Amino acid sequence: MATTVTAATRVDGLVRALRLTASADAARMSGMDDLGTVLGVWSHPDDEAWLSAGIMAEAVRTGSRVVCVTATRGELGTVDPVRWPLEGLAEVRTAEMQRCLELLGVTEHLWLDYPDGGCADVAPEEAIGKLVSLMEEIRPDTVLSFGPDGMTGHRDHQTTCAWATEAFRRVGAPGARLLYATKTPEFLALWPPYLPPAVMMDPNTQIPSTPASELAIDVDLPDDLLALKQTALRAQASQITPLLEEFGEEVFRAFCRWEFFRPAA
């Protein structure tokens, strides 16, 4: 007789696995000693927080300059159009993003104001030119963005990566690094068996995986930074509330723990 895997069963299994992982791992902040000035280039509000909130907050704490660029206002990003209708969502997410960055201590933020879901239709030279000008002004030592995979296969993510990569190449700052968000084989072994396909933007996409030995940044956040990241993400309520309602606090906390980046080349 077939067994039906309910959401509750899935979450229970994940929680058990996470507890085993948490008991085996200790907080670490590998690769955080030489970030210098940090520039994050992302597609939508909350991309930056999911993938690098802990890194940004720690960089600010240690005196580094942190600048964040967001390509769109995420005006199509709702899974609950009753509570968060598309009409006015750009304004909602703009305010959420501002509060999120305030909590992380990030005071420099730039919107490119391209259409959500339409980055691939933007003239590449326009977007790349804006990022070249910004990089020449800021002179970042570390640029954080998506890899060519876009993490979830989202075309906006992939396009933003292409812009950031080409702009970084053109500026050619000696000693600067371009780092791509990634996951590790251990992370991927832990999560997908328990997560429903709907959690992913494109369930057919292979999530990037990088061995720990090849990572430039390998972060398992200590409790204070983890709590701050969760608070910052909660500020983006239109995106986080539905996830919290489905998975609960324990899974949310665990999903926030890890941040991984690999060298672009």
Query: pLDDT tens digits, residue range 198-212?
Result: 554 455 667 899 999
Residue with more model confidence, 125 or 250: 125
Longest dimension (CA), the chain: 64
Judge whether residue 5 has pLDDT over 50: no
Residue 259 phi, psi (nearest 5): -135, 125
pLDDT digits (tens, 9 = 90+) for 157-173: 999 999 999 999 999 99
Assigned superfamily of 29-263? LmbE-like (3.40.50.10320)
Query: Residue 220 pairs with which residues in a beta bridge?
Result: 28, 258
Residues 141 and 37: beta-carbon distance below 8 Å: yes
pTM: 0.90
What is the spatial distance between Cα 238 and Cα 94, in angstroms, rounded to a whole number? 11
Contact predicate 69/56, CB 8 Å: no
Judged by DSSP in three states, 2 sits in coil
pLDDT of residue 3: 40
Helix (H) or strand (E) holding 229: helix 223-234
- Which pLDDT score, from 0 to 100, does residue 50 have? 96
Given pLDDT bands bounded at 50, 70 and 90, which one contains residue 27? confident
Taking the CA atoms of 100, 55, 198 and 157 in sequence, report the sign of the dihedral they define: positive
Q: Parse the chain into domains and list their residue ranges.
A: 29-263
Q: Cα(239)–Cα(223) distance, rounded to whole angstroms?
A: 23
What does the block give as tokens for 46? Answer: 């909350």
